Amino acid sequence: MNKINYNKVVYIVVISIIIAIIYNHFSMTGIPLIKKKVVFVQPQNYNIEPITLETAFEMHGNDSVIFVDARENIEYKEDHIEGSINIPYYDTLIKTDLINTLDKSKKYVVYCDDEKCGLSKMLAVKMYENNIKNVFILTGGWQLWLSAELPTSKEQLK
């Protein structure tokens, strides 16, 4: 049985650390290595309501309600809930004005792919932290909407 060379284990770890730090430094999506303050939050901490498909459908088409697709733009372009706008969650990590420009008097229903997807929850929390208090999460997301054959569109809205 071959023995493990622990020097090589250390070597692999150290090389990985060095490459990681260098890449992070030059990357556009790089983050500070030391995070000073962290606030843990989940949607229920802010009382952000998950809503059912029925409720979402009732709200759909109402002028004061905007549906927000939290998925990547490429998925949004393929198809999305009719009338929804696209705010890819990952983009909000580097572009702060995506949420700041939203009308705070409106209600927002956020969705992503399905109930396993975490993007809608994270985007809803981020919106709430940016003073958009009337935000809801569509439980089951896009897959549920699609399976119920509710209105969809490929038209991109901003």
Binding site for other proteins (CB under 8 A): 1-6, 8-9, 12-13, 15-17, 19-21, 23-24, 27, 29-38, 40, 42, 89-90, 93-94, 112-113, 116-119, 122
Shortest Å distance, C-beta 90 to other proteins: 5
Q: Which is nearer to other proteins, 60 or 127 (CB)?
A: 127
Q: Which is nearer to other proteins, 60 or 89 (CB)?
A: 89
Contact by Cβ (8 Å): 98, 92: yes
* Phi, psi of 70, rounded to the nearest 5 degrees: -90, 0
The sign of the torsion formed by the CA atoms of 122, 106, 72, 22 equals: negative
Residues 6+ away with beta carbon under 8 Å from 119 = 70, 71, 89, 112, 113
Q: Which is nearer to other proteins, 116 or 158 (CB)?
A: 116
Shortest Å distance, C-beta 69 to other proteins: 13
